Amino acid sequence: MTRMNMFSANRAGYAAARGLEEHVRSAVPEDLYEIVKLRASILNGCSFCTDMHSRDGLERGTPAAKLFGVAAWHESPHFDDRERAVLRLTDAVTRLAPEGVPDDVWDEAMLHFPEGEVGELVLAIATINVWNRIAITTRLEPMA
């Protein structure tokens, strides 16, 4: 059962997180946005966000096979080199190692995107990690 409604309990904090979300949604290409959100949510075990971003991806026209492949992207044939760089970065930022994001992961992202776009991707990954932590902590349940 959901513990609390974050929007009602902390409107200002929720609005701040929502503002960052609106920024990254407008800055990150839609095809990458959905796989970033879904991948981080899977890694974090956030059922609410995994459900939401799977549905959102389908509604936006992302092929179901690609959405299903996010869970096992290393083996999936549905991703190009650019998407794989984003998924690798998502994994590294979501599960930060003691040494941070490895240079090879960073360098690969920089091969496919200009610096500003890599920055937007990092913000998108950080933002979904915030939402995952809110949803998991408050036990937000997926929509029926």
Which CATH number is 111's domain given?
1.20.1290.10
CA–CA distance, 78 with 65 (Å, rounded to integer): 7
Q: Is residue 125 part of a domain?
A: yes
Cβ atoms within 10 Å of 80's Cβ, excluding its own: 8
| Domain range enclosing 69 | 6-137
Q: Is residue 105 part of a domain?
A: yes
State how many domains the chain has. 1
Q: Is residue 130 part of a domain?
A: yes
Q: Is residue 142 part of a domain?
A: no
Q: Is residue 21 part of a domain?
A: yes
Q: Is residue 1 part of a domain?
A: no
Q: What is the pTM of this model?
A: 0.94
What is the chain's pLDDT, residue by residue, as a tens digit (144 residues)? 888 888 888 899 999 999 999 999 999 999 899 999 999 999 999 999 999 999 999 999 999 999 999 999 999 999 999 999 999 999 999 999 999 999 999 999 999 999 999 999 999 999 999 999 999 999 998 987
Q: Is residue 144 part of a domain?
A: no
